[in-house]
Amino acid sequence: MLVSGPSIGMACRAGIGLGLTPTSPRCCNDPMEMRSQALADFLARHESLAVVSGAGVSTASGIPDYRDRNGEWKHAQPIQYQDFVGNLNSRKRYWARSYVGWQRFSKARPNAAHYALADLEATGKVDTLITQNVDRLHSAAGSRRVIDLHGDLSKVRCLGCNATGDRWDYQQQLRDANPGWHSRVFRFRADGDAEIANKSHDEFCVPECDVCGGTVKPDVVMFGETVPKERVDSAAMAIDRADALLVAGSSLMLFSGYRFARQAIEQQKPIVIVNQGRTRADDIAALKVEADCGNVLSEAVGLLAA
């Protein structure tokens, strides 16, 4: 049973799903200190961690997340893969919004959460970091053993000849193909997207692949598209090697991430979750820390080092 409250923000359920006895939340005068210490204690008990990270890790870098504290969509769901492939108007809408959103998304820089996880890897605690994010900020912060489960938004790929290219180069092609085009921007969204004025994409021109004339898409796994098997297999092997699983900033509402929590539990490996709000794995986690990822991870890594 999940135990939590606004003055505690943390539920410690050591061994739920592992046949062990759950413990009660610990209270102290400083909730953040309690949360950081609980996380540091968990990290200290395990020599090798696999990490699954999500959008909550990158929000402090200015990249919005998808879901609210209840795990529900904050906005309309992103474009579906079949819609992108089969509908020219949908592709125009996607690339017009991405053309605007990329100008901000590309400026994002790593925050404290990214650096804390890179520090954990440097100390040998992290075996592999499996990220659902497509911003490459973990790598920018210094993490080396990273699996970009959903791809990399800084690249584009042709669906015809499979040629890949740099997103900056394609951004210039979009600019050249749409001189004078502009649209009112209402808000920026996750994955380099932006909400723009209705119908403003109607006249937006989308360049085709300059190698074969095929359809160009971002080199990411869209909703409705399958994660490449080799990435899933590599991530599963990382769970196999690790002693425990750390989930950071992910609600795990998508099965592409939740599957690794299920795998860890099946192997009787404890899970610690650092996330603000409900996750799909709350009932199987050994420790749930509800706090900002950057703050609590940084403090926990500092405590661990000390």
Q: What secondary structure does DSSP assign to 130-148, as a single string? A: EE--SS-HHHHHT--SEEE
Taking the CA atoms of the chain, what radius of gyration do you get in angstroms?
20
The rounded distance, in Å, linking the Cα atoms of 252 and 52 is: 9
Catalytic residue among 46, 150, 182, 201: 150
Answer for the pair 174, 97: CB distance below 8 angstroms, yes or no.
no
Catalytic, 114? Answer no
Q: At what angle do helices 112-122 and 293-305 cross, to 10 degrees?
A: 30
Q: Residue count of the chain, please give it.
A: 306
**Adjacent-strand bridge partners of 165:** 156
Strand order in the sheet with 126-131: 10-12, 287-289, 271-274, 244-248, 49-53, 126-131, 146-148
Active-site annotation, residues: 150
